[in-house]
Amino acid sequence: MIILIILHDGKVENKLYDNNEYIKMFWVGLMDGNGNIQVNNLRKKSLQYRLIIKLNSDKFNNNMLAKITKVIGGYIINLKKKNKEVIWVVDNIDTIYNCIKIFEKYPPLTSRLICQLNFLKVCLADISVEKYLIERNLKYNNQSNIINNFNNNFIIPSYFSSWLSGFIEAKGCFNLKEKGNHSFLIIHSDDYYLLNSIKNFFLLSVSVKNPSKAFYSLEIFKKESLNNIISHCKSYPLLGNKSKSLSLFIKYIS
């Protein structure tokens, strides 16, 4: 993908902000990090299908989900409670099939979302509640096989750069510390292969750590490596609240 940067009223503007294909690839990364594909039964009479992304509600995340809604479909719900949240929802069957087409073009990379997508396809192929009730407890049965296979054979796909910015939007953390030892951190469960691929993608010398049984972390302190991550996020822009975090982070490490 060619990245076009143009000058507009004295500011640098990245054309990927409004590029539909970029938003689709970014969305897959965001779904991998913070989305869910749900299949539920309504009083054991019919099935309900939903894709959701739940985030803290602020203007950055709302604007990002508005972009996603414009390109992919769905609708946005703002929950008015103490901990304000915004939820992007797809429950229209035609839009769900369109989402599946995007996933076929840009497959999800986390074992969790792969299992959820496969279960959705099983339920769409046989919409009986009886089949659903049998299969729902088997949804993640193949997850360990997916992880083991990818730990040995994962190949970074062509859309990884755009996907990664969506994943960083969901899972990345730009840490500013009082003593100046600033860092970038990603914590993710189960999928060692994914953090190892991010490490290799950025040519990082640090190791992927395993602080607890199911969780892996990748934390970067070296300024040169942090600048590489910043450069990536400028070329493949963050679209939500993490763009605000990135702007503040840049001020402190430059």
Tokens of 209: 């750590």
Distances (CA, A) of 25 to 32, 36, 82: 11, 16, 32
Strand pairing partners for 37? 51
Per-residue pLDDT of 29-79, as tens digits, reads 999 999 999 999 888 788 999 999 999 999 999 999 999 999 999 999 998
Q: Are residues 85 and 169 in the same domain?
A: no
Q: What is the mean pLDDT of residues 148-163?
A: 97
241 and 168 within one domain: yes
Contact yes or no for 74/35 (Cβ under 8 A): no
Which residue, chain included where needed, has tokens 């749900």?
A: 38
CATH number, domain containing residue 185:
3.10.28.10
216 and 110 together in one domain: no
**Which residue among 130, 153, 176 closes a domain?**
153
Residue finishing a domain among 153, 170, 191: 153
Amino acid at 104: E
Residues 120 and 179 in one domain: no
Both 69 and 44 in a single domain? Answer: yes
Choosing from 128, 153, 178, the residue where a domain stops is 153
Most confident of 2-16, 29-43, 171-185: 29-43
Regarding whether 165 and 63 lie in a shared domain, the answer is no
Domains identified in the chain, total number: 2
Shared-domain flag, residues 147 and 165? no
Taking only the tens place, the pLDDT of each residue in 239-254 is 999 999 999 999 888 7
- Please state the pTM of the whole predicted model: 0.92
Closest CA to 130 of 229, 9, 18, 47: 47
Same domain, 176 and 98: no
Range of the domain at 80: 15-153
Do 112 and 228 lie in a common domain? no
Query: Is the domain of 103 the same as that of 28?
Result: yes
Measured distance CA(34)–CA(29) in Å, rounded: 9
- Is the predicted pLDDT of residue 111 greater than 90, yes or no? yes
Q: Are residues 164 and 132 in the same domain?
A: no
Q: Which of the pair, 98 or 133, is modelled with greater confidence?
A: 98
Instruction: Report the sign of the C-alpha dihedral through residues 188, 189, 192, 194, in that order.
Output: negative
Tell me, yes or no, whether 243 and 166 share the same domain.
yes
pLDDT score at 13: 60
User: pLDDT tens for residues 69-106?
Assistant: 999 999 999 987 767 899 999 999 999 999 999 999 99
DSSP run (H or E) holding 76: strand 75-79
Give the SS3 label for residue 94: helix
* CB proximity list for 241: less than 8 A, separation 6 or greater: 55, 56, 58, 60, 61, 64, 169
